[in-house]
Amino acid sequence: MEPTECLQDARARVPRWVGGVQGPRWGAMVGAQGPDAPASVGSPARPLLRAGPFAGPLPPHDARGTQVHAERGARAKLTRSRPCPLPRRIDPYGFERPEDFDYAAYEEFFSSYLVVLTRRAAKWSRLLRRSRGVRRSGTVKRYVRKGVPLQHRAHVWMAVSGAQAQMDRNPGYYQRLVQGGGNPGLQEAIRTDLNRTFPDNVRFRKSAEPCLQQALYNVLLAYGRHNQGVGYCQGMNFIAGYLILITKNEEESFWLLDALVGRILPDYYSPEMLGLKTDQQVLAELVRMKLPAVAALMDGHGVMWTLLVSRWFICLFVDILPVETVLRIWDCLFNEGSKIIFRVALTLIKQHQALLLEAASAPDICDKFKQITRGPFVTECHAFMQKVFSEPGSLPMTTITKLRETCRAALLAQG
C-alpha cells in the first residue's frame, strides 16, 4: 500500500465532520475533499440506520449497570458444572458485541474487576454519606482515579465539573432552549447525523422503546442554541450520546456537554478548531520530549499526527477504546481537565513503542496506530488507568500550558 492509499484508507474510517453548522468541514485538516471524504485513523465506519420518527422519553436509571453484568459473569465462572449460558451479545450500555468478541477473556477480566467495583462502591458510598456534596479535594481526586461506580457516576461528574452548579443557577434554561424556535440549519445538521450515532447500540435504534435519538437531538439542539459560536460539530453527537447513556437525563447531559465544550476543551469544536489543532501539536511535542524514537519515526516517514490521533481528541476516545475504559478516562477528565487526554495518548504510545518502531512505511505506521487501541491492555480498564498515571512520568500543567502557547502561536502564524 502506498502512503496515499494509507491516507485514503484513514479518511474512509471517520465520518464527515462539521465545524459548527456554518464552519469548515473536518476534512480540511487532513486535506480531504467533499462531504464524505474527511478522516483519521480510528474505528471502521459504521453502517447507517433507517430514518424514522423520534419517540419516547429517557429510560429510568439502572443503578447497577456494569456491576450486574459482572456479577453474572462471576457466577458463570463459579458454576462450571452447569450448562454454559448463551453469551450476551449486548453489553450493559446497549452496544452490540462484535462477532469475534472474546467472551472468555472478557469474563475472566470482569470476574476480577468485580472485586474492584465492589470495593470502590463501598468506599464511594461512605464518602457520599459523610459529606454534604462532592467537592474537588485530594481524597476525591484519588477516588476518581480509581474509578467512579456507575451508580454514582452522573452525580460525581455533575459535581466535580461544575455542571451541577451551572444547572442550579439556571433553572428552566435547558427547557427554554429546547422549546425555542428557529435555527433550521442547526436542526438539519443535527438530524443528518442522528442515524450515524451508535448504529450498533440498540437504545439508539428506531425500533427501541424508547429510542434515545430524541434525547440526543434535544441535547444537541439546545447546546447549539446556547453556544452559537460553536453551533454543532460532528463528534459532539458521540460525546452527547455517552452522556445520555450514563446520566439518563437530558438536562444533566446538556450541562455536562457545556462543561466539556465550553470549559474543559475550549476551541476544540469551534469552526476554526484551533484548540483541537493546538493540542494535537502539543502531543507531538510531548512525544518528541518523552519518546524521541517514535517522533523520529514519524518525521522520517512524513506522517502527520492529525492523521493518527484526531479521533482520540475529537471523540475523547469514544469508539476508539472499550466503553468502560472510556468512562474511566472521563471520570478523570471531568475532575482534572484535559491533561488526562495527553496522559492516555502517551500511555498508548509508550506501552507499544516497540511495536510502533517496527513500522517500515507510512501505511505500516497507520496500521500499527490502529492496533494499539485494541486488545487486553485497553480492555482491562483498571490496570490501564494505573498505567496512565505512571507510564508518562511527570506531566505538570505548566509544561502543557507553555507548549500550548508555543504551538498556538505557530498555528496562527501559518494563517
Domain residue limits, the chain: 3-38+269-414, 66-161, 168-264
Q: Do 92 and 280 form a contact (C-beta atoms < 8 A)? A: no
Confidence check: pLDDT of 29 > 60: no
Architecture in CATH of 3-38+269-414: Orthogonal Bundle (1.10)
Higher pLDDT, 86 or 311: 311
C-alpha cell at 210: 424508547
State yes or no: cis peptide before 392, omega within 30 of 0: no
Q: Which of 247, 249, 245, 273 is nearest to 261 (CA)?
A: 273
d(CA 307, CA 298): 11
Confidence check: pLDDT of 396 > 90: yes
Q: Which residues contact 216 (CB under 8 A, 6 or more apart)?
A: 194, 197, 204, 237, 240, 241, 244
Residue 55 per-residue DSSP state: -
Percent of the chain surpassing pLDDT 70 = 79
- Kindly list the distances between the CA atom of residue 293 and the CA atoms of 41, 93, 138, 298, 394, in Å, as whole numbers in the listed order: 21, 39, 36, 9, 19
Q: Where are the alpha helices (DSSP H) in 147-207?
A: 150-161, 163-169, 173-179, 184-194
Q: pLDDT tens digits, residue range 56-81?
A: 333 333 333 334 344 334 333 333 33
168-264 CATH choice from 3.20.20.220, 2.60.40.2480, 1.10.10.10, 1.10.8.270 = 1.10.8.270
End-to-end CA distance of the chain: 33
Q: pLDDT tens digits, residue range 217-255?
A: 999 999 999 999 999 998 999 999 999 999 999 999 999
